[in-house]
Amino acid sequence: MKTVVSDLRIRPMILDDLPVVISIDRLSFPIPWSERSYRYELQQNPAAHLLVAEKIENGLAGLVGYIGYWFLIDEIHISTIAVHPEHRRGGIGRQLLEAALGHGIGLGATVATLEVRISNEAAVNLYREFGFEIVGRRRNYYRDNNEDAWLMTLEGLGAEQPEESGGVAWVRRRNSRPSPRK
């Protein structure tokens, strides 16, 4: 892994985070999630997990990004990930994805899946860095512009995981290898 933001803390999202999360969501997506959707994910959806990244500056924590995933049986599906535009390209997205995969492995996930706009080069590059591969194309997936989505998967998640690592060590090891294709 190249960039590590040392003053970054990743923790579970709570309801009090929603105003900032929703503002980053609006800056990041053509079809942002509503507050109601986030509340449903946090309070009612048993499969949903949401993490936030806080940057610590002068002892103060500022929320700069978040990631969501659903865990079902042996699979995590990345439902959302965004970093505030002013904080992009500093390794925060990478750390959020690493944390989500690590948590997922800890829950028993062996595969990770996601959909991404085919034009979203930043996200596709990030996912490829972790070893995600394009396995399908969903036509007209996004309702704002009928853009297609790539379906990407990462198989063999946690295969080399030591019992005590909770999965994070596996993700770190995997990411310390040369990027498969960037």
Ligand X SMILES: CC(C)(COP(=O)(O)OP(=O)(O)OC[C@H]1O[C@@H](n2cnc3c(N)ncnc32)[C@H](O)[C@@H]1OP(=O)(O)O)[C@@H](O)C(=O)NCCC(=O)NCCS
Q: Is 83 in the site for ligand X (CB under 6 A)?
A: yes
Other Cβ atoms less than 10 A from the Cβ of 89: the count is 10
Distance in angstroms (rounded) separating the CA atoms of residues 89 and 3: 9
Distance in angstroms (rounded) separating the CA atoms of residues 88 and 82: 9
Q: Is 126 in the site for ligand X (CB under 6 A)?
A: yes
Contacting residue, 55, 77, 94, 103, with ligand X by CB under 6 A: 94
Q: Is 2 in the site for ligand X (CB under 6 A)?
A: yes
Q: Is 154 in the site for ligand X (CB under 6 A)?
A: no
Distance in angstroms (rounded) separating the CA atoms of residues 62 and 52: 10
Residues 99-118 that bind ligand X (CB under 6 A): 116
Distance in angstroms (rounded) separating the CA atoms of residues 148 and 36: 26
Contacting residue, 8, 13, 21, 82, with ligand X by CB under 6 A: 82
Q: Which residues bind ligand X (CB under 6 A)?
A: 2-3, 28, 81-83, 88-94, 116, 120-123, 125-126, 129, 182
